[in-house]
Structures are given as structure tokens and as C-alpha cells.
Structure 1
Amino acid sequence: MGKGESRVLAQNRKARHEYFIEETVEAGLVLQGTEIKAIRRGKVNIQDAFARIENGEAFVYNMNISQYEQGNRYNHDPLRTRKLLLHRKEINKLGPAADQTGYALVPLKIYIKHGFAKVLVGLGRGKKMYDKRESMKKRSAQREMARAFRNNQKV
């Protein structure tokens, strides 16, 4: 894989089930010490992570970057709060939207792009239980149609 290509290291599949993602934005991460080495090895978990905008800056909480095995005393706190690198326009746009009731900033995936760790953050509107059931029905119907189409192709 070349330096310009990106590869996904962690995904938050639960986020698409829990939220309607209305908008996404790519953000850089402020990392320290051995965190980038752990991320490159895929030792990152964003299942329970969320983002917040405070004092004009964006932060991601509960993102677990496991300690690097060879890091010894230079290792980091796995659950520390990390700053997101966003343009002022993006922060000004996402801040008021995320403050509305029922909306949240959710990290969707982490990947390496041009040698830097990036986070895809989505503005999500929480789904109600009936919305989740409806999404599951649609997905199941799509799978059934694809399966039937494949079976017709083989005949």
C-alpha cells in the first residue's frame, strides 16, 4: 500500500445502527508518544467513543488506544481525551448542530491517510426503537432481494 492510500484501522459499526448520520467530516488527531504506533497496529477501539466541542475546540472521549507493547515507560493513558484537528468553519458548523437535543458527534472510523491518523466524525441524530426496527427490516429485505437475484443468475 502506497503512502497516499488510506486504510481503515477501526470502524464503529454500532454508530450507523444507533444514529442517522446526517453529515461527516474528516478530522486529524493530536497524539502523543507511542499512540500512533499502537494505531498503526490496529490497537484502537471506538465503539464507546463520542466527540464534543468545548470552548471552540473539538475533543474525542472514550477512544481506547491500547498501550504499545515496546513502549515501556513512554506509554500513554489508553482512555485519555484527545483533541481533534478541525477547521474553524467546521467547528462553527458542527458545534450548534451537535448541541441540539437528540444529536451527537460520533467517530465512525479511524484510518491512516498520507501517513497521518484521521478520524471520520459524523453528526448523528439518535434513532428511536421503531427506527431501528425499520432499518433492520429494510436491510433484511435488501439481502433477500440480492440473494434471489444471485440465485436467478446461476440458473
Structure 2
Amino acid sequence: MKCSKHNDTDAVSQCIDCGRGLCTGCTNKFSIPICDQCELSRIQADRKTFVRNIVIMIVLFVVGLLAGQGFFERILEGYFFAGIPWGWNILTRITPRMFLFMSWMGWIFYFAIKLFLAMIIGMFVTPYQIYRVISGLKQAKKMSDYTEGTLV
């Protein structure tokens, strides 16, 4: 098998996403053996996730601002609501990936508890997630520029 980018070079590994052949240079380009096109696809998917979470966070922050009474309460409730998506994502990652057979009341109870826990967890992880989004968007831009500059 030959490298998908360098047709005259033998492949030493395969892209973990699409299975294309990669030479030594292409294999060592990223931290995992992945071709440029697949890395660009991952970057675009990450960018969409970052932007989606920020938009949801802003909308929920505004909802929280509108729900409060005084100035301090409004800011606090906005922050509390803004953390919901981050806490929800964490709970979704640690929840077993299995389908639970429950009645509709069981599902309502399940989602109410998950929402409450997402609010609590979100309060603590929101500052870190905001930092991660900003640094992730910067990193995605760098990787996108690096990858697009090397495409044939």
C-alpha cells in the first residue's frame, strides 16, 4: 500500500478514520495517525460543537437574567442557567450507553434529576469550559491553517 498523499512512498500505517495509507511523515504529522482530510473534518465538527455550546450558554444566560429579581440574583441565575449544557455534557459522558426501559413518569423523573445535577455540575465547570472553548477555537484555527496549507 502507498501513502494516499505521497504516491511514491510506502505506507507504514492507516488513517484511523478512513483507512487511507499514511507514510512515516504523514503518520507523525498529528498525535494520532490520521490523514489531512479526516483531521479537517474533526476540526470542523469540534468547531461546530464549540459554537453550539456557546450559543446555548448565552441563550440560557439571558433566560437566567430575565428570571431574577435583583441585579445580583439575575447575574447569579444567568450563570447558573449558563452552566446547564456543560453539566449535561459531562453527565451524558459518564452515563452508561444503554437504553433504560422506564414508564413515561420514570423518564420525567430521570430527566428532572439529570437537569438538577447538570445545573450543580455546570456551576463548577463553566469557567473551565469557557477557557476550553476559547483555546479550542484558537487551536482549531491553527490546525485548520496548518492542514489546509499542506493539502495537495
Q: Please tell me the TM-score bracket, short chain as reference.
A: under 0.3
Q: If the length of structure 2 is used for normalisation, what is the TM-score? A: 0.28
Q: If the length of structure 1 is used for normalisation, what is the TM-score? A: 0.28
Higher-Rg structure is 2
Choose between structure 1 and 2: higher helix proportion.
2
Which one scores higher on RCO, CA 8 angstroms, separation ≥ 6?
1
Choose between structure 1 and 2: higher strand proportion.
1
